[in-house]
Chain A
């Protein structure tokens, strides 16, 4: 895992500025939640980190190494999508082994990694299943195992809980949060659900209109919002929740 720096990144698509001078630091092992309304630039920020968008200006650094112009396949970034994006022509195990295979990891080690990850995520019995036969929660676990199998510098999660039912979401939120903490994974967690971010992330960046409005711990953002937008955004329908530090 690495320390990730987004340094004054701007991304324009024609006349539209999707990301406007965003700077963020993610410490080694930290989970940073990026929240904001639709179209605020959070997914573009994630895609810029993954290498699918090259910033119009600014830099992306992994452990001080400038990766701004490197293609996605050389960045060693794990991606988890809302839509799962599993390889439907492969079994669950083949999905998990795909990344290590592309990296030239030996067959034995690939199998071992896949077995360990599937066990860790509580789905070892699904190894030989076709992804199409799995439930949403199971598919998301496979997506997570696949992303973790490459031992990424950073794990990028793009609205991974959206679309799941409320009960499953709550359970998965706890499980994934515990797992990421246990593995000490550096992660960027993009979501429009502020409760989800507050429960799962060490710190939160609130974005609006392509810019970062505030970065801080969930408690800081909730208790001392830096702007009226942040105040309005985080105070919307927030029920009782536990901050990631466990304090009430």
Chain B
């Protein structure tokens, strides 16, 4: 046997195999997909990758850091472990009042917003309205307005020199200053609804578009008035949309800040977070408040979705 023909070493299969063969099956299926299902998984991963990166960098990391700060012993460095901020949260009567204000005001404005949005969605879907496209544009416009601008608009309308205030004062023969409600609870209520109704409307219009109008007509022909038709036939069909709108709108109410900052009619959670940061940089307390806010909203959304068939993102 020639030296050239003699085997120099035993062939190593793993060396000659493609590198991807060394990867775990699940990863290999993504790197070198062989089936259509594998290719589909790879497409899903590619489509979701930007969001996953964003969620990790701008969501999960800051949240974890915020939770860490809330139990830090030091203010400027996350060190040690202390639940003082949470004890402060539980015992501070001003913060308890802010929590209560946030909840009742959020629920009340959500209820009113849902009522107004349901009525509007009903009108938009059931009837041919003049200048409907313009109307829809105007109704959806506040979604893109910052809370501060919404508050400013309320002042322009309902403040001491507001258009509506002065018109009512002129008709009633009273002082505009006495009638102005912009910086009171009523003004804040209207400003909240102004921001929340379009959000509820977006979801409810989608639900209304899927309502079986023939079933509504059947109910009318069977003797149900329009109100009873709505209650027995329409409402069950839009229920998932209503619950979704409730979750979305209530979360919006809990998160409103700019409007409260300008109108200053009531101290709510977001305002208090800003306050504790602006006054003495109580960052552990602010972080604890943010953690409580996040956990509450997450639990509320998860429970809301668990017990309903509503389809709304977390």
Contact = CB atoms under 8 A, between A and B. Distances in A.
Interface string A72-107: 111111110101011111000000001100110000
Contacts of B221: 50-51, 72-73, 75, 77-79, 147, 156
Contacts, number: 72
Interface in A48-86: 50-52, 71-79, 81, 83, 85-86
B215 interface: yes
B228 to A, nearest CB: 7
Contact of A98 (B217, B219, B236, B237): B219
Nearest to B228: A102
Contacts of A102: 219, 222-224, 228
Contacts of B236: 87-89
Nearest to A78: B221
A50 B217 contact: yes
Contact of B219 (A50, A51, A83, A87): A87
A103 B220 CA distance: 11
Contacts of B220: 51-52, 71-73
A146 B218 contact: yes
B37 interface: no
A79 B223 contact: no
A157 interface: no
A85 B217 contact: yes
Contacts of A156: 221
Nearest to B222: A99
B222 A85 contact: no
A99 B215 contact: no
A150 interface: yes
A102 B226 CA distance: 12
B214 interface: yes
A50 B236 CA distance: 24
B233 interface: yes
A73 B214 contact: no
20 contacts: A50-B217, A52-B220, A73-B221, A73-B225, A78-B221, A79-B221, A83-B214, A85-B214, A85-B217, A87-B215, A89-B233, A98-B232, A99-B223, A102-B222, A102-B224, A102-B228, A146-B218, A147-B221, A147-B222, A156-B221
Interface of B: 212, 214-215, 217-225, 228, 232-233, 236-237
